[in-house]
Structure 1
C-alpha cells in the first residue's frame, strides 16, 4: 500500500511527504515523552471525576439565577482536583482567557496595591487591561492610546515589570529585590504570546514561588495558564502557585466546550474572585450552567489526549520545517511548557501563504482564504487561520502571526495528529512553490 497516495490527493509532493516521514522517525523520543505525560494526566483526570462523584444529574439544565446547580458544582470540583487546587470556578459566561484574567485582577487588586509582572512584556491584547506599566521602556504599553478608566493603573493599581533573563529564565534575584509591602500579586505569563521567548516550565514556576515565599508569605502568585494545561506532568498549584486561570476554548476544552473559562487555586481567593465576578453576597452561587455541563466535563475528560495530539503536531511541524531549512522555536527535542510552535518565516508573503495553507487543511471553512486585518489590542495587522468547530478555538489546528518583522508564524492545536500533520505538510508545500508573477 502506497500511503503517499493519500496525501498526493491533497497536493502533497513526494519530496514533502518523504520529509514528513523522516520527521516522524526522528520524533520517536519526544513522542514517547508526550505519551508518558498523556498517560499520567489522563489517569489524573479520571481520578478527579471519581473524587468529585460526577453523576448524570450534572447534565440537567439550570436556568435563571442558577442556585444549587449540581452540574456547575460538580464541574468545578473536577477542575479543582484535576489541577491539584483547593477550589475552582468554571463558568460558561467567560468568553476568553483575557476575560478570565481581567476578572481575577479586578477582584483582587485595590487602589494602592502593586502587581509585579515577572515574565517581561505581556501579550498585546492584555495591555489595555493593565494600562500604564511604571518601568516599561515606553512608559505605557497601550500603544500611545488613551488609557481606559477601566484599566488597572487608572484605578490606582501600580504595575511594574521584570524582564526575563537572556535565555528566557526568570530573574529570581530581581524578583526577590522588587517585592515590597505594597506587592499584592506576582503575575506569571507561562506561555510566550507573540514573542520567541521560551514558555516557562512548572519547575520555573516553582523557583519563582520559592523566591516570593522567601520574602513574603502574603503575596499571591498568579499564573496565566493559557495554552499550558496538561502539557507537563504537574500543574502550577502543585508547586505552590496560588491561582491559575485559562480559557475553555484552549487545552481544557478539547474543541468540545462551547465557551467558558476557569480559575483554580486557594479557596479563599476563589471566594474573593467570585464576589468580583458577580456581586458581594451571591458570589459563586449564581450563574447557571444552562445545560452545558456535560460538554464542559467531556472537554476536560478528553483534554490530556487531545493536548498530546497537539503536542505531537507541534513536534512534527518543528522537525519538518527544520529539515526544510527553517529556524524554529522551540527546537524539536526541547522540553515544552505550552502547545505553541513558532516557525521563523522571514517574509510577510510566506506568513500569509503558511496561514492560508493551514486554513485549507481545516474541517470547517477550509475553502476560506484568510488575509491580514486589524485586530483590537494590536499595533499592526494580524493574520489568523482557524477553521474550527468552536470559534477561536486554539486547541484546534490554527496559525496566526502579526504582520511585522521578523514575520514569525505561531502554530498551535490539532484535535488529531493526522490533521496537524497534514496542515504542516500543506504549509511547507505552499511556501516552497515559487511566488506568482504579475
Structure 2
C-alpha cells in the first residue's frame, strides 16, 4: 500500500528499498535515542511530581515577583532534573557570558584563584576576568586568574593543571566548545575525567 503512494510521488521502488535498508540499519541507534529521550522525559515528570507542580504555578504574576511560586518551583524542578543544590532559571540572564559572570562573582572572593584549564576562554569573558583591563573585573576585585594552555595535540595538559592548582584555587573553568580556535571540542568523557582529576587534588 505504501509503495503505491510513493509511486504516485514519482519515487521509484529502488529508492524506496534503499531508504528502507538504511532505516533498518540505523534502527538500533534510533532505539537508543528513543530510550534516552524517554529516560529524560521520566526525569522531568518525576521532578515535577516531586516538586508538586500544579495549575497554581502557571498563574501570571506582576510587580517584583516576590513569592512567585511558579518561578521558585520551576527552579526547583531544574535542580531536581540536573541533580544540583539549586538552580537559577531567569529571563534576566541574557547569554552564556552573563550566566558565567554571575557564577564567577557569586562564588569567588578576593584572594581566590580561578583557573582556565582548557586555554583562553571566549573573548567575551576577557573583560569579566580581567585579561583585558576593564572596570569591575574579577582581577580588580583581587581574584587571581591562571590559564593552562592545551597541548599541541589539542589535549588537556594534566601536569600543567596540577601545577596550577593551589590551596587558594576556588574554581576551575572548562570551555567545552572550541569557539574560534582550531582545537577539537572537548567530549563529555574528557570533561568528566578532568573534573575527577581536579577534585582529586583539591575537592
Q: TM-score higher than 0.5 here?
A: yes
The CA deviation at 1:168 is 4.1
Question: 1:199-255 deviations in whole A, cap 9, x for unaligned?
Answer: 3333323322222222222xxxxxxxxxxxxxxxxxxxxxxxxxxxxxxxxxxxxxx
Matched, 1:149 2:135: yes
> Could you tell me how far apart the structure 1 residues matched to 2:88 and 2:189 are?
25
Instruction: Tell me: CA distance 1:48–1:197, structure 2 relative to 1, closer, same or farther (3 Å).
Output: farther
- Residue 171 of structure 1: aligned partner: 157
Any idea what SS the aligned residue of 1:115 has? strand
What is the aligned length? Answer: 190
The DSSP-based 3-state class of the residue aligned with 1:62 is coil
2:196 corresponds to which residue? 210
Aligned match of 2:148: 162
Q: Note the alpha carbon deviations across 1:79-115, whole angstroms, 9 max, x for none.
A: 0011111211211211111111111112222232210
* Bigger CA radius of gyration: 2
- How does 1:176-215 map onto structure 2 within 5 Å? 176-215=162-201
C-alpha separation in 2, matches of 1:4 and 1:164: 53
Q: Is the 8 A contact 1:49 1:78 kept in 2?
A: yes
Distance in 1 separating the partners of 2:8 and 2:77: 42
Structure 1 match to 2:15? none
CA distance in 2: counterparts of 1:211 and 1:46, whole angstroms: 33
Shift of 1:119: 1.5
Aligned residue in 2 for 1:116: 115
Deviation at 1:172, TM superposition (A): 2.5
Distance 1:105 1:202, change over 3 A: same
For structure 1, which runs of at least 5 residues remain unmatched after alignment? Answer: 6-20, 133-141, 218-438
Q: Are the aligned partners of 1:169 and 1:204 in contact in 2 as well (CA < 8 Å)?
A: no
How far apart are 1:156 and its partner, in Å? 2.3
Deviation at 1:51, TM superposition (A): 1.5
Distance 1:97 1:175, change over 3 A: same
Gaps in structure 2 of 5+ consecutive residues = 1-5, 11-18
What is the DSSP-based 3-state SS (H/G/I as helix, E as strand, rest coil) of the residue aligned with 1:150? coil
Distance 2:60 2:190 in 1: 41
Higher strand share: 1
Q: Given the two structures, how large is their TM-score scaled by the length of structure 1?
A: 0.39
- Structure with bigger helix share is 2
SS of structure 1 residue aligned to 2:87: strand
Distance 2:186 2:94 in 1: 25
1:116 counterpart SS class: strand
1:83 paired with 2:82, answer yes
Q: Any conservation in 2 of the 1:175–1:211 contact (CA below 8 Å)?
A: no
Q: Considering only aligned residues, what root-mean-square deviation do their CA atoms show, in Å?
A: 3.0
Distance in 2 (CA, whole Å) between partners of 1:3 and 1:208 is 56
Q: Which structure has more RCO (C-alpha within 8 Å, separation ≥ 6)? A: 1
